Structure 1
Amino acid sequence: MKRRLYPAVLERGPRGAFGAWFPDFPGCVAAGRSQEEAIERAEAALAQAVDGWAEQGRTLPEPTPIERIEPPKGSDIAAFFMVGVDPPDPSERVNVYLPKSLIARIDKRAAELGMSRSSLFGFAATLALEWRLPPPGLAAPRSKVHKTGALRAEKRPGKKPAR
């Protein structure tokens, strides 16, 4: 699912504070001492709300057009703004057969990184998919230095130097 933009309402509160709320996500609110802080917190709040909806199996609502937003009476609207969110990508269970020794090494490394085995597999797969191989012909070594990483210091008996 592609990135979605949801409208948010920024309101002035008492003592110079600001609050933000989302018409499409009741209860999704954020506050801050400045407009910037309220907007940053609103972005985090929306991401959390979207994750919560996905965990509950709910489909995301269509974004409400700004012109259809009806603020509550007496609210001091400072601005309307849009917040982008990437909907969660549902997981799917897969079975993979690997040598036990490799699985043990994977589990050890995942624990070192504070990850689960599945998270490490996902991370490694993402890196592998983003990795770009050099175009054909560029990957092959061009000289002995490239092949071995060093020049040969010894001379072979019976070989004449190339001219």
Structure 2
Amino acid sequence: MKRRLYPAVLERGPRDALGAWFPDFPGCVAGGRSQEEAIERAERALAQAVDGWAEQGRPLPEPTPVERIVLPKGSDVVAYFIVGVDPPDPSERVNVYLPKSLIARIDRRATELGMSRSSFFGVAATAALDWAPRVPRAYLAEPRSKVRKTGAVRAEKRAGKKPARQGGK
């Protein structure tokens, strides 16, 4: 799902405080002492609201056009602004076979960093993908079997043996 742009309303509150709210996300509000602080907090609040909706399995609402926003009576509107948010990317379970000693090292490091094994793999994979176009050969393990792209196991030629003839001749 591509990035969504949601409108927000910035209002003046008591004692010159500023509050921001999102018409498409009831209860999603943020405040600050300055315009910058209120907008920054609104961005975080919207990201949390979107994550919450995704966790509940609720589809994200379509953004309301600014001209269709209904303001509460007595609002002291300072400005409208738009906040972009990336919808959560759903996870998928995968099976990966790794040496037990490597898994133990991963689990220890993930624990040190305060994250789960899955989170560690996600961070490590993202870093590896962003790191460089080619991984040095020294980091690649030799395959345990010779497998072609089709998945078939390749017959290895033995020294001194002739290949079998086909067609019975």
TM-score range, shorter chain: 0.7 to 0.9
Q: Secondary structure at the match of 2:73?
A: coil
Q: Give 2:31's aligned amino acid.
A: A
Q: Tell me what 2:31 maps to.
A: 31
- Once the 2 structures are TM-superposed, how far is the Cα of residue 93 of structure 1 from its aligned partner? 1.0
Q: Tell me what 2:11 maps to.
A: 11
Residue 116 of structure 2 is aligned to residue 116 of structure 1: yes
- Once the 2 structures are TM-superposed, how far is the Cα of residue 96 of structure 1 from its aligned partner? 1.1
Deviation track 1:14-44 (CA, whole Å, cap 9, x = no partner) reads 1111111000000001111111111111111
Q: Secondary structure at the match of 1:72?
A: coil
Q: Distance in 1 between matches of 2:75 and 2:90?
A: 38
Deviation track 1:80-124 (CA, whole Å, cap 9, x = no partner) reads 000011111011111111111111111111112221111111111
Q: Give 1:109's aligned amino acid.
A: R
Q: Tell me what 1:68 maps to.
A: 68
Which segments of 5 or more consecutive residues in structure 2 lack a partner in the other structure?
137-169
- Once the 2 structures are TM-superposed, how far is the Cα of residue 131 of structure 1 from its aligned partner? 2.6
Q: Tell me what 1:89 maps to.
A: 89
After the TM superposition, list the runs of 4 or more consecutive aligned residues in structure 1 that deviate by more than 2 angstroms.
131-134
- Once the 2 structures are TM-superposed, how far is the Cα of residue 132 of structure 1 from its aligned partner? 2.5
Q: Distance in 2 between matches of 1:36 and 1:54?
A: 27
Q: Distance in 1 between matches of 2:76 and 2:28?
A: 18
Q: Tell me what 2:154 maps to.
A: none
Q: Distance in 2 between matches of 1:26 and 1:122?
A: 32
- Once the 2 structures are TM-superposed, how far is the Cα of residue 133 of structure 1 from its aligned partner? 2.9
Q: Tell me what 2:55 maps to.
A: 55
Q: Secondary structure at the match of 2:98?
A: coil
Q: Give 1:37's aligned amino acid.
A: E
Deviation track 1:51-85 (CA, whole Å, cap 9, x = no partner) reads 00000001101100000001111111000000011
TM-score (ref. length: structure 1): 0.79
Q: Secondary structure at the match of 1:6?
A: strand
- RMSD over aligned CA atoms reads 1.3
